[in-house]
Each structure stands twice: as C-alpha cells, then as structure tokens.
Amino acid sequence: LAVTMAGRDPAIVAGAGRHLLDAGWLLVEHGYDQGLIVREVFTQAGFVQVETLRDYGGNERVTLGQWVVRNVS
C-alpha cells in the first residue's frame, strides 16, 4: 500500500466502499511520511472521521476512516 499511496493511486481506498457496510471502517498502514496524502485520499473518497495514528516512535503510521452511505432522496 505504501507504494500505491506514494504513487497517488487511491484504488484501494476508492474501491473500499463497495466492500464495507454502512458505518464500516477502513484502516491502512503506510509509510511514516505518507499520513497527509493518505488522509487526503480518504477524504476525497468520501470517508468521514479520518485520522492518522502514530506508532511508538511517534511517526504517523495508520490512517483510518469511516464509510457512511449517504441516502439520495
């Protein structure tokens, strides 16, 4: 995934909504210097409550977001 995000190919995140239930969560581990871009990819894909967690060394390491199905009425 780190290579995928570094190349700015958000295929994993963009396609995740097809596999998640409403209010499901996606968590991805990434390189220490990729937190910002991964958060942007999550947000652009429609995830909410996006945040990045740090590892024991203080590096941004895991980004997560919640998938919420929006009703179109």
Taking the C-alpha atoms of residue 64 and residue 73, their distance in angstroms, rounded to an integer, is 28
Q: pLDDT for 47-69, tens place per residue? A: 999 999 999 999 999 999 999 98
- In single-letter form, the type of residue at position 46 comes to G
Count each helix (H run) and each strand (E run) in the chain, helices first. 3, 3
- pTM of the prediction? 0.82
Q: Would the pLDDT of 3 be above 70?
A: no
Q: Label residue 19 exposed, middle or buried (CB < 10 Å: 0-12, 13-18, 19+).
A: exposed
